[in-house]
Amino acid sequence: MTATNVPTSTSERFGLPSASALVVGSVIGTGVFALPGALAAYGPISLVAFVLVTVGAVALALTFRSLNARLPGSGGPYVYARDAFGEFAGFLNAWSYWITAWAGNAAIVVAWVGYVEVFWNTGHSKAGSIAIALVGLWLPAAVNLAGLRSIAAFQVVTTVLKFVPLLLVAVIGLFFMSRANFGEFNASGGSGWSAISSAGAIALFSYLGIETASVAAGRVRNPARNVGRATVLGTLACAVVYLIGTLAVFGTVPHAQLIGSSAPFTDSANAIFGGVWAGQAVGVAAVVSGFGALVGWTLIVAEMPQAAARDGVFPLAFLRESRRGVPAFGIVSATILASVLTVVSYTSFDEVFTTVVLLSVLTSVIPYLFSAAAQVYWLATSARTLHPAHLARDLIVGLLALVFSFWALQGSGQQAVYYGMFGVLLGVPVYVWHKSRKGEYGESVPVLESPASTLVLPSAVAR
């Protein structure tokens, strides 16, 4: 139902390796390097929560694979929601995810600055921190504006540079674990289920981004085949590193030290190899990891609004592309918004940064929920040609993804729900304004659909 926006040359699109790297690069950012420290307050029971979140994330990945096989256009959750529930639901998903992407970039870059300042601006001057953050936002924008070949190559390189050190620390750390380091199984002081729910909400941060290949599906070669594979492979690769890595850190760093650690993988590397050189190497990997995530998310932040604009749901300005075929308006506008939010966050860091993180997490779960609901809806009403065993399998996976999305919502906490819903509902007046400008009431027909799955832009739109 939605045209797929692709570069004119097949060689300029993502293949399976670079699409998988886009998923891994977007999922593994700076957060993983602090994740074990955040989970340590709950004790090893948080590993149970991590396993549950991993099962839910894999169910979502499989759901995205099935959805993209039917609807392989760019836009991911926006396309799925609009196809199943209509234009307004599609708009809310696109709006919600758009907030997630640019606000999330502000959160990523603030965390990234902390790792950069291990080597530069060690005095943490506010002006220096803001300058580093702005460089961290605009350099990824420049990489994206340079073209898809640059993005694909960069994602593969940065994914390897951050994935390999994490995997090495995780695997080698398994041989240096001590039972005494784990501490009490449930260190939260509350019930086991309460600890699992709270730890699960934290663990959910680590899987945000598994949908990125489906969002950029129009820029992937053979999307009906490669997007689903990249989503599942990328999610499984991240799951392996997360689970083994968290276990290894728990077993190599004493529990009391881990609770107060802001760089647990660095502490684990120092404990395994001795000295500080290993920890500094992990710090370099964290800088590379955060930068690679920013490059991936800077592309993704423009893809969904472009798909919505193609259908006439978002302003047509989001269709503007550079001569290299990248959505230039979406990239530049989102980077400006992220820059403003980043500067503001440094004037009131604790309050604003926490708010931004909570908002971006919840606004990402909403498109997950709608995507899972769209899959279940289609299976329940239109999938009668499927073999009964395949129908049952897909329905179980879809329901699991749907239940996981609801669990993620309740685990986010009341504050996250408040700020997230406020941000999402701000889109309602925007939708009314956009529709009134076009003189439309009710559903509109996609305005720029191409049966050849190649977008043809009006001459007024810059390329």
DSSP string, 6-51: --SSGGGSB-HHHHHHHHHHHHSSSGGGTHHHHHGGGTTHHHHHHH
Determine contact, residues 61/210, Cβ cutoff 8 Å: yes
* pLDDT given at position 134: 95
Using the predicted structure, report yes or no on whether residue 154 has a pLDDT greater than 80.
Answer: no
For residue 152, name the pLDDT band (cuts at 50, 70, 90).
low
The residue among 370 and 259 whose pLDDT is bigger is 370
Distance of CA 238 to the CA centre of its chain: 12
Query: pLDDT band for position 12 (50/70/90)?
Result: low
Cα 139 from Cα 424, distance rounded (Å): 29
* 8 A C-beta contact, residue 272 and residue 173: yes
pLDDT attached to residue 92: 92
What is the pLDDT averaged over residues 56-78?
Answer: 87
Q: Can you give the pLDDT at residue 358? A: 64
Q: Which of 293, 289, 290, 263 is nearest to 278 (CA)?
A: 263
What are the tokens at 457?
């832009």
Q: Which two tokens stand for residue 418?
A: 């408040």
The predicted pLDDT at position 448 comes to 40
Highest mean pLDDT among 3-7, 68-72, 446-450: 68-72
- pTM (predicted TM-score): 0.79
What is the model's pLDDT at position 356? 66
pLDDT tens digit sequence for 25-35: 778 876 677 77
| pLDDT higher than 70, residue 462 | no
Nearest-Å Rg of the Cα atoms of the chain is 21
Domains of the chain: 10-438 (1.20.1740.10)
Mapping DSSP to helix (H, G, I), strand (E, B) and coil, where does residue 445 land? Answer: coil
Specify whether the CB–CB gap between 211 and 368 falls below 8 A. Answer: yes
- Name which of 146-150, 189-193, 353-357, 362-366 the model is least confident about: 353-357
How many CA atoms are closer than 13 Å to the CA of 236, on its beta-carbon side?
7
Helix, coil or strand: residue 220:
strand
Please give the pLDDT value at position 5: 45
Contact present, 198 and 188 (Cβ < 8 Å): yes
Residue 148 makes CB contacts below 8 A (sequence gap 6+) with 7, 12, 13, 14, 219, 324, 325, 326
Do 60 and 210 meet the contact criterion of CB atoms below 8 Å apart? yes
Q: What does the pLDDT look like over 379-419, one tens digit per residue? A: 988 877 778 888 889 999 999 999 988 887 766 566 667 77
| Nearest alpha-carbon partner for 1 in 57, 75, 60, 65 | 75
Phi (first) and psi of residue 220, to 5 degrees = -115, 135
**Burial classification of residue 243, based on how many CB atoms lie within 10 Å of its CB (0-12 exposed, 13-18 middle, 19 or more buried):** middle
- Between residues 70 and 360, the one the model is more confident about: 70
CA gap 357, 263 in Å, rounded: 19
Greatest Cα pair distance, the chain, in angstroms, is 68
Whether 46 shows a pLDDT value over 80: the answer reads: yes
Long-range pairs, 413-418, Cβ under 8 A, ≥24: 413/201, 413/358, 415/358, 416/358, 416/359, 416/361, 416/362, 417/362
- Residues 94-125: tens digit of each pLDDT: 999 898 889 888 888 887 887 788 788 878 78
Q: Can you read off the two tokens belonging to residue 215?
A: 């969002």
Q: Which residue has 């305005």 as its token pair?
A: 447
pLDDT band at 459 (very low <50, low <70, confident <90, very high): very low
Q: Report how far apart, in Å, the C-alpha atoms of 394 and of each of 28, 65, 66, 149, 333 are.
A: 27, 11, 8, 35, 38
pLDDT, position 237: 87
What percent of the chain is modeled with pLDDT above 70? 86
Q: Which of 70-74, 147-151, 255-259, 322-326 has the highest mean pLDDT?
A: 255-259
Enclosing H/E stretch for 391 = helix 388-411
Q: Is the pLDDT reported for residue 23 higher than 90?
A: no
Give percent above pLDDT 90 in the chain. 20
Q: What is the H or E stretch that residue 368 is in?
A: helix 349-382
- DSSP state for residue 184 in the 8-state scheme: -
